[in-house]
Amino acid sequence: MDECIFCRISQGDIPADKVFEDDTVVAFRDLNPQAPTHILVIPRRHIATLNDIDNDAEAIIGRMYGAAREVAAAEGLAEAGFRTVMNCNEAGGQTVFHIHLHLLGGRMMHWPPG
Ligand code: DGP
């Protein structure tokens, strides 16, 4: 997926402020942060939306949450708390069609989200 911006970040073709990476996932700071800490956790495998998760990809989703937990701890967010969100398709607010888990922290979160 040469045209996918998050594939290109994963491959290192486009710079990003990466905070974590392993064989399965990459985590980097969001370009347009909505909280003092706003990090995106993406799989290296191109998966367009949460609707496209198959049985194989369920393990990837698990790893994304595991990485989010590790990054949240490293960023000092674990005790106070943080939010993880994955938007799906237009009505869900998705704008980049390579799944990503938003990790937001450093301020009080509101509910319901807008
Ligand atoms: P969503 O609306 O859920 O699809 O979130 C997409 C997020 O991706 C949005 O918060 C901005 C961020 N983003 C888009 N392009 C780039 C980029 O090139 N670099 C980084 N670091 N973040 C990006």
The string of DSSP codes covering 14-83 is S---EEEE-SSEEEEE-SS-SSSEEEEEEESS---SGGG--HHHHHHHHHHHHHHHHHHHHTT-TTT-EE
Structure-token pair, residue 60: 């990837």
Nearest CA to ligand 1 atom 23: 31
Domains defined for the chain, CATH in brackets: 5-105 (3.30.428.10)
Q: How far apart are CA 64 and CA 50, in angstroms?
A: 13
Mean pLDDT on 76-101: 98
pLDDT value at residue 114: 79
Q: 101: CA distance to ligand 1 center in Å?
A: 11
Q: 32: CA distance to ligand 1 center in Å?
A: 7
pLDDT value at residue 1: 65
100 is an active site residue: yes
Mean pLDDT on 71-75: 98
Q: Which residues approach ligand 1 with their CB closer than 6 A?
A: 5, 16, 28-32, 40, 87, 93-96
Q: Is it the case that residue 110 has pLDDT exceeding 80?
A: yes
pLDDT value at residue 2: 73
Q: What is the DSSP letter of 103?
A: E
Which residue in the list 38, 46, 98, 100 is annotated as catalytic? Answer: 100
Q: 31: CA distance to ligand 1 center in Å?
A: 6
Mean pLDDT on 84-113: 97
